[in-house]
A and B are shown apart, each in its own frame.
Chain A
């Protein structure tokens, strides 16, 4: 196996998980920052359209580090995807492949199925629910819960916070309900 092939391999969970976990102490040591991505959405609101809403009336510039962090995510993802991406389709369980085939989803080359997420299907009912509806619930829900997978499930649990455990359990319950009993209906549309 040559060097490039080695770089292009996907990482197993026991490499990726600890690396993600290390974001917690790194951010704390670099400047007392708590790991969390969803707050960036709030800072964007505060910066662009606060419209005198108390929730968005704060000094967002003090939280600018978070916007630098998400900008880094965009660039890092670009670099990894264009230069070190595994050329083979994602290796998911055969059970999922069989399930999704019923709905005409067979392309595993990207991170999202191109059959569902593309500009031309954006204005179909299915596309609107998945892209616009899903996005809205992500933004609304994370702020209502006070954090997302990074802020609650990783940072909060690392600090042994009970509310974060409640939030994480609810994330999973919500996901289970939709993935198993709602998404199949949406995919049939």
Chain B
């Protein structure tokens, strides 16, 4: 039992490391490591808990008005504290939570240890960060809010979302040519 959990963790970690870095394009090796895929996967309804969590996140995004185009403009024009308060207090809550998880070795509900990957610096965080900042100020939305704005019935935002998917795709296809 213990062994299985450890094995599963290692696989999860490998997959996530691949997703996170994806610097070597040797995808086959990843596929090769997934021989016992069936043991690893939960039945699909296990994913419903993320649906529920997303549901609450969507409610928070609306009620806090952080997905309002106007609030984003206010933030970038330094005309209000609201957005800074939201992001700042979210980060503080996150820092305390992650510290507590590490300090008390909190496990997941399935008994696995919680794994946090270290991010590596690359120039993409600068160039990509700036480009995203430009887009954020224009659309008034980062990816989470795009989904939320569509949920409120602003159907034209579907075009923005499709365009964002296209942007991600173009990045993926030219990524080797970009400075990292």
Contact = CB atoms under 8 A, between A and B. Distances in A.
A166 B154 contact: no
B76 to A, nearest CB: 3
Given A37-B147, A79-B59, A144 B136 contact: no
Nearest to B106: A29
B46 to A, nearest CB: 8
B63 interface: yes
Interface string A1-41: 00000000011111111111111111111111110011111
Interface in B130-180: 130-144, 146-157, 159-173, 175, 178
B121 A163 contact: yes
Interface in A35-83: 37-42, 44-45, 49, 51, 53-59, 62-66, 68-82
Contacts of A149: 87, 136, 142, 144
B51 A138 contact: no
B71 A92 contact: yes
- Quick one: which of B19, B52, B70, B156 has the most chain A CB within 10 A? B70
A139 B171 contact: yes
B6 interface: no
B142 A117 contact: no
A178 B134 contact: yes
- Quick one: which of B59, B67, B71, B127 has the most chain A CB within 10 A? B59
Contact of A49 (B155, B156, B169): B169
A37 B171 contact: no
B86 interface: yes
Main secondary structure on chain B at its contact with chain A?
helix
Contacts of B31: 59
Nearest to A29: B108
* A contact residues, range: 35 or more
A111 B115 contact: no
Contacts of A51: 173
Main secondary structure on chain A at its contact with chain B?
helix
A82 B70 CA distance: 20
Nearest to A164: B119
Contact of B58 (A77, A90, A145): A77
Given A77-B149, A139-B171, A145-B129, A29 B70 contact: no
Nearest to A14: B89
A174 B160 contact: no
Contacts of A133: 135, 138, 163
- Quick one: which of B51, B92, B167 has the most chain A CB within 10 A? B167
A11 B63 contact: yes
Given A84-B63, A138-B141, A142-B132, A17 B88 contact: yes
Contacts of B149: 77, 111-112
Contact of A166 (B82, B126, B138): B126
A75 B87 contact: no
22 contacts: A14-B85, A25-B94, A28-B114, A34-B117, A41-B143, A55-B173, A64-B44, A76-B57, A76-B58, A77-B59, A78-B151, A90-B68, A111-B65, A111-B67, A131-B160, A133-B135, A143-B172, A166-B121, A166-B126, A166-B129, A167-B129, A176-B137
